[in-house]
Amino acid sequence: PDTKKDRSPREVQRLWQRPWLRTAGLGAGLVLTTLLLWSNLGAEDGVTEVLARRGEVVAGRFIEVPCSEDYDSHRRFEGCTPRKCGRGVTDVVITREEAEQIRSIAEKGLSLGGSDGGASILDLHSGALSVGKHFVNLYRYFGDKIQNIFSEEDFQLYREVRQKVQLTIAEAFGISASSLHLTKPTFFSRINSTEARTAHDEYWHAHVDKVTYGSFDYTSLLYLSDYLEDFGGGRFVFMEEGANKTVEPRAGRVSFFTSGSENLHRVEKVHWGTRYAITIAFSCNPDHGIEDPAFP
């Protein structure tokens, strides 16, 4: 349901500047406002189905879709390379408390920098951190000061959460967890409504992970903030002709999917507030594997 705190001030102001809405009876006006906002939120990107709403707790939801041919142009790994493709959502793998703790890691790291545009990246594996219009290696740039920012417990929690996500993906697709190799880029993202300054800030374009990154076979997102509580816009959208499907972020929610063209996707622009998430990607090719980050 739509409530006042769900609306951005700009949305409300825009609606009430319309003369016909101001002159309508208060009761009718409120009904019309609610309907307009609800249809506005639902109609963006042509979304016709919500796979997971923010307000519900999803124990486990999986939708199988036919695999694309993207995997054929890469080396295949029997028992891992997707033959069963699809997308899943669960709210019972990572607790909201764990999500809050993981978010604090992102907040601490991103407090050291941040993009001039709307999208900031923190990669604990490579050390990549958005600073202004560029990236720096936070381990080299800040040196020993990093030990005052993060703790060993932060990195331990990061590993534990990654392992839970890996097991969830393996179980959903009927493969061995040991056949999945963490791959790059695996990173935190912080998105707000600031205007994009560089191409790195333009996070909203539709793309295919397998095409974009090559190493990706399975992609996951762990959301660290709540849609319509912490931010507006910013939903995750699976692009399908005439029938887009969306996932509404909820802290602790894990959304995962095979990385080929069967799961073309994009993120809506964030209109207000701040959206935190972590992208965790896996490859079937051990040559593309990366280690968990170690406390410096």
Q: How far is it, in rounded angstroms, from Cα 190 to Cα 126?
A: 17
Q: Could you tell me where the beta strands, DSSP code E, fall in the chain?
A: 47-52, 61-65, 85-90, 114-115, 119-122, 128-132, 134-137, 181-191, 218-223, 231-233, 236-238, 244-247, 254-258, 265-267, 270-273, 275-283
**Which amino acid belongs to residue 137?**
N
Neighbours of 241 (CB within 10 A): 7
Q: Which residues pair with 282 in a beta bridge?
A: 182, 218
Question: Which residue is catalytic, options 54, 162, 253, 275?
Answer: 275
Residue 160 has which token pair?
A: 């534990």
- Residues 134 and 141 sit within 8 Å (Cβ to Cβ): no
Does 275 participate in catalysis according to the annotation?
Answer: yes
Active-site annotation, residues: 275
